[in-house]
Amino acid sequence: MRLARIATDSGPRPVCLRDGRWHEVADPYADTLTFTGPAHDLDGVRLLAPAEPRVLLGMAHNGAPGDRDLPLQAFMKSTRTVIGPEDPIVVDEGLGQVNVEGELAVVVRRTCRRLRPEDVPSAILGYTIGNDVTAVEQTALDDKLTQAKHGDGFTPLGPWIETDLDPGDVPIAVHVNGVTVAEASTRQLAWNVSEQLVHLTRYLTLGPGDVVLTGCPFTFSPVKPGDRAEITLGGIGTLSNPVRAL
């Protein structure tokens, strides 16, 4: 099943793809979807970020199998960095090189704390594409990553949530200006989705709509103003964003 958020004259609305149209729903996190009536053609709708997280986390030390030798850690990102498809990534060129990072993003379904591995599937609504944009030269200056990870538009999400996806071996490709610059798979991550959520919920509560960026298996590329960054994940689709100067 495919879930999204779209812009309407009445404001943002959650929708579900059914019979080739976006159908509005009352609550995408409910156990059973309630369709509220209005339907929208695929052409002409503006897709928004498919989730509005209160908590937005990225996983560190999770780019390659060898990272299992390092402690599993996460970092926070401001939810103000979240943007949707076609929204601009804003680059302050005074901060040095900026990279886009293609990642699988987990969207949490329910309130959860101290998850066990067997609890994880029911805690996940689905998966979307995440772009963990990073001002990489700032990481050496600020080990808390505030300067590196919190620029305007530094977390594109979208274009929708796919609820039926096996996260274990999802192909990831990064394209800049139509050229493929990086390819990998979630199979290469040191820590899988279940291990990540068990770890995170040991320390904090996650809730409906919260998002975890699961790690970058070398799927990154530098970008500059004027570029277009596209992240493609198998089984989900492509998330496309222009890059512009501050």
- Domain residue extents for the chain: 2-47, 56-245
pLDDT tens, residue by residue, 92-113: 999 999 999 999 999 999 999 9
Band (195; pLDDT cuts 50, 70, 90): very high
Q: What is the pTM of this model?
A: 0.97
Mean pLDDT of 48-74: 95
pLDDT tens, residue by residue, 139-152: 999 999 999 999 99
Mean pLDDT of 179-185: 98
Question: Is the pLDDT reported for residue 153 higher than 90?
Answer: yes
Specify the pLDDT at position 10: 93
Specify the pLDDT at position 62: 93
Share of residues in the chain with pLDDT > 90 (%):
97
| Euclidean distance between CA atoms 122 and 178, whole angstroms | 37
CATH architecture of the domain with range 2-47: Roll (2.30)
Specify the pLDDT at position 44: 87
As a residue count, the chain comes to 246
In CATH, 56-245 is 3.10.580.20: no
Alpha-carbon separation of residue 155 from 15, 45, 100, 174 (angstroms): 21, 21, 9, 15
User: What's the chain's average pLDDT?
Assistant: 98
Mean pLDDT of 21-42: 96
Question: Is the pLDDT reported for residue 37 higher than 90?
Answer: no
pLDDT tens, residue by residue, 210-246: 999 999 999 999 999 999 999 999 999 999 999 999 9
Mean pLDDT of 48-68: 96
Q: Which of 31-40, 104-113, 158-167 has the lowest mean pLDDT?
A: 31-40
Specify the pLDDT at position 79: 99
Are 54 and 107 spatial neighbours (Cβ–Cβ below 8 Å)?
no
